Amino acid sequence: MDRPAAVALAALVLGALGSASAQDLEKGKRVYAAATPKCKTCHSIGGEGNPKGSLDGAGSRLQAEEIQAWLRTPKEATARAKAGRKPPMPAYSKERISDADLEALTAYLLSLDR
């Protein structure tokens, strides 16, 4: 892909994500990688991690509020989705992931496969 086309595509993707900047997306990617317990234990992105919990395409399946519910209140999100995967998703409280990091992580997950 030539440079003007790549720039146009990047602008289109970032425009679709609203106010998420490339820095927000990179920060979200770092939050995903650094979270404890490790997200990759149960989830994968781009073939890296547990393929049973692929997050590829999350941006086309979920809204920001849904992603944040899965992270902050997974027990309730599991019940709403009637999901039964084991082990259960741990809750990522504000002590584990700050609100700012949650926003960045949400932006990153929304950017996947859009």
Which pLDDT score is estimated for 18? 56
**pLDDT > 50? residue 6:** no
Fold of 3-111: Cytochrome Bc1 Complex; Chain D, domain 2 (1.10.760)
The overall average pLDDT reported for the chain is 86
- Closest by CA position to 88, among listed 42, 40, 48: 42
The alpha carbon dihedral of 39, 44, 47, 49 has a sign of positive
Choice among 40-49, 65-74, 82-91 with the minimum mean pLDDT? 82-91
**pLDDT > 80? residue 5:** no
Say if residues 88 and 15 touch (Cβ distance below 8 Å): no
- pTM (whole model) above 0.85: no
Bridge partners for 49 per DSSP: 44
Which pLDDT score is estimated for 84? 82
Compute the average pLDDT of residues 28-56.
95
**pLDDT > 90? residue 107:** yes
